[in-house]
Amino acid sequence: MSNDTSNAKFVQRIKNHPQYQELVSKRSRFAWTLSVIMLIIYYAFILVIAFAPKSLGTKIAAGSVISVGIPLGVFIIVVAFLLTGIYVRRANGEFDELTRKIKEDTK
């Protein structure tokens, strides 16, 4: 029988591999946590626009014309980028290392 995912025994062997369990739980927890962080930031922003749009027009300092909405908007863009960086760093390191081990053990 070939070692691919059409082979039920092979699939079971990978599923029973302790590091497979570790990979799946770690990655899904990490991915969903980051997703929830992004969603909370974005929908908080949307809800402020929906319910209190004026608050985003508050000036950042007395005498300034710049509203808090502007740095906040740029901040959301930067955070979105940083979150992708954080995920890629851990996934391309730790998660790919786990995957490599699983593949080696189940060859």
Partner 1 sequence: MRGIIASLFGLLATVWTPLLWAAEAAKPENKLNMTAILMFFAFVAVTLGITYWAASRTKTTKDFYAAGGGITGFQNGLAIAGDYMSAASFLGISAMVFAKGYDGLIYSIGFLVGWPIILFLMAEQLRNLGRYTFADIVSFRLSQVPIRTLSALGTLCTVILYLIAQMVGAGQLIRTLFGLPYESAVIIVGALMILYVAFGGMIATTWVQIIKAVLLLTGATFIALGALHHAGFSLEAFFRAAMEGVKASGLADHKKVVADSKDIFAPGGLVSDPISAISLGMALMFGTAGLPHILMRFFTVANAKEARKSVFYATGFIGYFYILTFIIGFGAVVLVAPNAQYVDMIKGTLAGGNNMAAIHMAHATGGDLFLGFISAVAFATILAVVSGLTLAGASAVSHDIYASAMRGGNVNEQTEMRISKFAALGIGIVAIFLGIQFEKQNVAFMVGLAFAIAASANFPILILSIYWKNLTTRGALIGGSLGLISTVVMVVLSKTVWVDVLGNKAPLFPYKDPAIFSMTLAFVGCWLFSKMDNSQQAAEEKARFDAQSVRCETGIGAAGSSGH
Question: Environment class of residue 40 by beta-carbon count within 10 Å: exposed (0-12), middle (13-18) or buried (19+)?
Answer: exposed
DSSP class per residue in 28-78:
HHHHHHHHHHHHHHHHHHHHHHHH-GGGGGSBSSTT---BTHHHHHHHHHH
Contact between 85 and partner 1 per CB under 8 A: yes
Contact between 62 and partner 1 per CB under 8 A: no
Q: Number of residues in contact with partner 1, rule: CB under 8 A?
A: 56
Q: State in angstroms the smallest separation of the CB of 1 from partner 1.
A: 13
DSSP 8-state class, residue 66: -
Residues that bind partner 1 in the complex, under the rule CB under 8 A: 3-6, 8, 11-12, 14-15, 20, 23-24, 27, 31-32, 34-35, 38-39, 41-43, 45-47, 49-51, 53-54, 56-57, 64-67, 69-70, 73-74, 76-78, 80-81, 83-85, 87-88, 91-92, 96, 99, 102-103
